[in-house]
Amino acid sequence: MDSDGDRVEELSHAGLRHEALVGGPSGGEPVVLLHGFPQDATAWRALAPLLHDAGLRTLAPHQRGYGPGSAPTSVSAYRLDSLVGDVLAWLDAQGWARAHVVGHDWGGAVAWALGAWHPGRVITLTVLSTPHPAALRWAVRHGDQARRSWYVAGFQVPRVPELVMARALRRGELRRTGLPADDAVRYAARLGSAARLRGPVNWYRAAARGGSRSVGTVAVPTAYLWGARDPFLGRAAAERTAHHVVGDYRFTELGAGHWLPETRAREVAATILGRVGTPGH
């Protein structure tokens, strides 16, 4: 994204300093891009220029825990309500009353919560890979999601997950799940040590401990894209997500894996732009 003319901007909130990539025409409709684990803001480097060419303005932050200035040590600092609070603060800092919100993986979980809790701040919602949290919980009990999510339990152990995941990133093991090699190298450069992974892994620990309110029904115009070959998030939760959206809802199944921002940028851009052009969005 840097090579396409985006600039790095610092966003300060609650004593944390987040770096974000900002690009596109200054007067364009705003789009917030929320990455997942173990990515960073550059996950959107193939997508953002497509949105810029269409006249949209993008803000892609390195989320809480993914930078040295934004990584509190306590697990409770990574509860979902705090992560949503970050996004609201970023919107305020940009002077945006509302924005189109796009999230992938953990960024998708934040996007679902933002759409449910603060619909007045969301123009449209586009979620990649991640089902609605209630649908995910249902699938753990009724489908094969518990098997797919085995690693979440492993992440609750102190210190060890960071060591194991850092080694896996440095070895490029995520390429086995379909992540392109250049993206794997770039993410490892940011998160390839146990110390740098503490914040990102704490997202999983905070979710397991609870404390945030439940994510309810979403009424804003919503698009959900899911890859049928996703090794982490299965069909049961993907199809169940429709039960939790009462607004205009579009579900798209792609013949793809988990890493949709990196591998299916054109399809994602077309979906976002299709919603932007919908009357009354």
Residue 279 has pLDDT above 80, yes or no: no
Identify whether 170 is part of a domain: no
**CA-closest candidate to residue 103, choices 45, 44, 183:** 44
Decide if 177 is inside a domain.
Answer: no
Whether 281 shows a pLDDT value over 70: the answer reads no
pLDDT of amino acid 5: 58
Q: Is the pLDDT of residue 192 over 60?
A: yes
Q: Residue 275: what pLDDT? A: 83
Predicted confidence (pLDDT) per residue in 164-190, tens digit: 999 999 999 999 999 999 999 999 999
Structural domain count, the chain: 1
The pLDDT tens digits for 207-252 are 999 888 999 999 999 999 999 999 999 999 999 999 999 999 999 9
Tokens 């090794």 correspond to: 231
Cis peptide before 119 (omega within 30 of 0): no
Average pLDDT over residues 25-54: 97
- Residue 39 scores a pLDDT above 70: yes
Evaluate if residue 2 carries a pLDDT over 80: no
pLDDT at residue 163 greater than cutoff 70: yes
82: domain CATH number?
3.40.50.1820
Domain that holds residue 62: 2-146+215-276
Query: What is the predicted pLDDT for the residue at 150?
Result: 87
CA 175 to chain CA centroid, nearest Å: 19
Domain-embedded: residue 69: yes
Does the residue 142 lie in any domain? yes
Is the distance from CB of 251 to CB of 224 less than 8 angstroms?
yes
Is 191 domain-assigned? no
pLDDT at 280 over 50: no
Name the average pLDDT for the chain.
Answer: 94
Give domain status of residue 248, yes or no.
Answer: yes
Q: Would you say residue 195 lies in a domain?
A: no
pTM here is: 0.95
Smallest Cα–Cα separation from 248: which of 114, 117, 125, 112? 125
- Measured at the CA of 82, the angle between CA 26 and CA 265, to 5 degrees, comes to 45
Query: Is 3's pLDDT higher than 60?
Result: no
Q: What percent of the chain has pLDDT over 90?
A: 90
Is the pLDDT assigned to residue 278 strictly greater than 70?
no
Q: Is residue 158 part of a domain?
A: no
